């Protein structure tokens, strides 16, 4: 900051143009770094919510399996009856590939673009398996159907 003499002594006249340009450049650099990091954090939090929802469904399914003495439900929606295991099926979150969806497709191989994929085939080695219906990868390059 420059100072100029006046009749009453020294007083500040303000910032120079170069000082203001340096401050604006620093703010621009910080914003260029922070904005992509922030959007990546939002995506990671949404992925964490999707994985947490998958864990909730699997836990409820495990409790159902124990209550029914070794029998899985024919429909995943059975977990929401009377709110005993789940009050509602949570949404599958697979950002940014598909919209959040709580739909369930009963199948042995997950289909891309479906909320949840549930294997209810009796006698199948993977009976009672719930997977995310997305064949894309998350931020860690793991395919959603591997969770």
In a domain, 65, yes or no: yes
In a domain, 2, yes or no: no
Q: Which of 1-5, 63-67, 80-84, 135-139 reaches the highest mean pLDDT?
A: 63-67
**What are the Cα distances from residue 29, in Å, to 21, 22, 24, 34, 104?**
12, 11, 9, 9, 45
Domain tally for the chain? Answer: 1
Task: With 0.85 as the threshold, say if the pTM is over it.
Answer: no
In a domain, 76, yes or no: yes
What value does the CA radius of gyration of the chain take, rounded to a whole number of Å? 27
pLDDT surpassing 60 at residue 11: yes
Q: Who wins on pLDDT, 109 or 52?
A: 52
In a domain, 23, yes or no: yes
When pLDDT is averaged across residues 109-120 and rounded to a whole number, the result is 90
In a domain, 1, yes or no: no
CB 76 within 8 A of CB 89: yes
Q: How confident is the model at residue 10 (pLDDT cuts 50, 70, 90)?
A: low
When pLDDT is averaged across residues 4-12 and rounded to a whole number, the result is 59
**Which range marks the domain in which residue 85 is found?**
15-146
Q: How far apart are CA 71 and CA 91, in angstroms?
A: 24
Report pLDDT for 13.
Answer: 78
Query: For 40-56, how does the pLDDT look when each residue is reduced to its tens digit (9 = 90+)?
Result: 899 999 999 999 999 99
CB 130 within 8 A of CB 144: no
In the chain the first and final C-alpha atoms are separated, in Å, by 59
Report pLDDT for 51.
Answer: 94
CB 130 within 8 A of CB 118: yes
Q: How confident is the model at residue 114 (pLDDT cuts 50, 70, 90)?
A: confident
In a domain, 4, yes or no: no
CB 47 within 8 A of CB 95: yes
Q: How far apart are CA 37 and CA 110, in angstroms?
A: 31
In a domain, 70, yes or no: yes
In a domain, 8, yes or no: no
Q: How confident is the model at residue 113 (pLDDT cuts 50, 70, 90)?
A: confident
């Amino acid at each position: 900051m420059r100072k100029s003499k006046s009749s009453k002594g020294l007083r500040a006249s303000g910032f120079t143009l170069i000082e203001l340009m340096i401050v604006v450049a620093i703010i621009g650099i910080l914003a260029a770094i922070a904005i992509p990091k922030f959007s990546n954090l939002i995506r990671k939090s949404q992925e964490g919510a999707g994985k947490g929802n998958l864990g909730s469904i699997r836990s409820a399914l495990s409790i159902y399996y124990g209550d029914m003495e070794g029998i899985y439900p024919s429909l995943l929606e059975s977990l929401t009856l009377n709110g005993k295991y789940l009050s509602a099926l949570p949404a599958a979150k697979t950002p940014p590939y598909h919209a959040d969806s709580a739909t369930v497709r009963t199948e042995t191989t997950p289909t891309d673009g479906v909320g949840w994929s549930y294997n209810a085939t009796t006698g199948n080695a993977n009976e009672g398996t719930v997977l995310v219906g997305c064949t894309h990868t998350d931020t860690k390059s793991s395919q959603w159907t591997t969770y």
